[in-house]
Amino acid sequence: MTQQNERVTAGMIVIGDEILSGRTKDVNIGAVADFCTDLGIDLTEVRVVSDEMDHIVDAINALRARYTYVFTSGGIGPTHDDITADAVAKAFGVALPINAQARAMLESRWKESGTEVNEARLRMARIPVGADLIVNSVSAAPGFRIGNVHVMAGVPVIMRAMLEAIGPTLHGGRKYLSRTIKAGVGEGTIGAPFAALQAEYPDVKMGSYPQMGTGRATTDLVLRCPDEARLEEATQKVLAMVAEAHVKAGIAAPQIA
């Protein structure tokens, strides 16, 4: 059982030539990031890879060895270029037969809709030996989990449904709290003192995000930490630093958003 204060990590692999070509705009990274944040899982790395077997296998093996959980999206449909299941089976060194339970789930849905059972559609019932199914409440074609790798659809609505399905099976870790300070000056003005505060509070993640279109340079400073007391202490230090910069610039005191 994962302890509440233990760090739980995740990596994500987005699979598909259509993402890399720009034809399809990915939204699944954001969905997985929100999902992980809610569970106290640190999404630490995302790779986007083409529909090439070796690339997918390499990414799966690299990330599954590095993180608590791995999530993939894309490449589990009925066409020839949907090779994610093949790549996962190769990465784990197992066979990829048609899974009886997956086939039954699909054929039940196809019977309702009058859809023909053919070889292409049955590709979606191929599941690596040893994997458990991930229920798809939208279109019935399941994802699957093998080891710490969760293989899910690329279609956003189906991806979100699969995330909901696997949520109860995952162990979350420490949840981060966050504070955002609105600085009315640019990053260059506060870069050095902000870096010094990050060095003083290495356990508090500090990010600087310039904001455009406000008529002048402004910056959002975001602080994240699982320890509320430590976060509050660091926040007050950053507030004081920004307030000093505001005084020099002749603008109003900063606020926590």
d(CA 138, CA 158): 6
8 CB contacts (<8 Å, ≥6 apart)? 2, 39, 40, 41, 42, 68, 69, 171, 172, 173, 174
Indicate whether this model's pTM tops 0.75.
yes
Q: In order of start, what are the domains of the chain with their CATH numbers?
A: 8-169 (3.40.980.10), 177-256 (3.30.70.1130)
Q: How confident is the model at residue 257 (pLDDT cuts 50, 70, 90)?
A: confident
Q: How confident is the model at residue 70 (pLDDT cuts 50, 70, 90)?
A: very high
* Predicted pLDDT at 56: 98
- In this predicted structure, the answer to whether residue 4 has a pLDDT above a threshold of 60 is no
Tokens linked to 183: 């600085």
Give residue-wise pLDDT tens across range 21-39. Answer: 999 999 999 999 999 999 9
